[in-house]
Chains A and B, each alone.
Chain A
Amino acid sequence: DQQVKQNSPSLSVQEGRISILNCDYTNSMFDYFLWYKKYPAEGPTFLISISSIKDKNEDGRFTVFLNKSAKHLSLHIVPSQPGDSAVYFCAASAMTQKLVFGQGTRLTINP
């Protein structure tokens, strides 16, 4: 049972445009959500997070939106840059113990 789902395995975006990565979850007990970015041959690196008491969190070019009623979160990258090409994982935590990841979305930024 996949509690966190990223339904788009890949996404291609033009440099300078907005990239929107989506994530859906099923467990209403999740209270914290994180996005990680992964380059080949490296471990994931933390990007941005949001608590369930908020609906938006912004850090530079990265913004995460949370829609609790729809059990949906999204990561917006504006403007997209070639260095943003990577695999992005969303993750969710319930009561600070387990962390559940989605399947990942491969983002490619085209020049």
Chain B
Amino acid sequence: EAQVTQNPRYLITVTGKKLTVTCSQNMNHEYMSWYRQDPGLGLRQIYYSMNVEVTDKGDVPEGYKVSRKEKRNFPLILESPSPNQTSLYFCASSQGASNQPQHFGDGTRLSIL
């Protein structure tokens, strides 16, 4: 089954404790992206990757890092999480570029205390 898998689905942690949210897709897609969803703001793009070893900033990259060492994986790293990063996060992938239909994971709800 074609899918984008995010882990964990839920996490409560404390300020400053490094965390990684993993994202894996099994569709051999080139394009992968991370978004955060906040009330009244919709989905905002954090980082995207056009292919292996190619990443670029989205609209809200501050406080986040990503890597794309393999085509299927695109982890999101919060080196020193802060409360303003409490949000619902989605990973997505698509064949080709951002104008192709993206497949989304089911989301990761992060709470930073």
Contact = CB atoms under 8 A, between A and B. Distances in A.
B23 to A, nearest CB: 11
Contacts of B92: 43
A102 B85 CA distance: 20
A6 interface: yes
Interface string A1-42: 000101001000000000000000000000110100000011
A43 B106 contact: yes
A34 B42 CA distance: 14
Given A96-B99, A97-B98, A98-B98, A104 B42 contact: yes
A91 to B, nearest CB: 8
A16 to B, nearest CB: 28
Nearest to B57: A98
A46 B107 CA distance: 15
B43 interface: yes
A101 B90 CA distance: 13
Contact of B42 (A45, A97, A103): A103
Contact of A42 (B56, B102, B106): B106
Interface residues of A, number: 25
A100 B99 contact: no
A103 B106 contact: no
B4 interface: yes
23 contacts: A6-B42, A9-B40, A31-B99, A34-B99, A43-B90, A43-B105, A44-B43, A45-B104, A49-B99, A49-B101, A89-B42, A89-B43, A93-B98, A96-B97, A96-B99, A98-B59, A99-B33, A100-B59, A101-B35, A101-B44, A103-B40, A104-B42, A104-B43
Interface of B: 4, 33, 35, 40-45, 48, 50, 56, 58-59, 90, 92, 96-99, 101-107
Given A43-B107, A97-B98, A98-B98, 14 more contacts: A9-B40, A31-B99, A42-B107, A46-B103, A49-B101, A91-B43, A93-B98, A96-B97, A97-B97, A98-B45, A99-B33, A100-B45, A102-B42, A103-B41
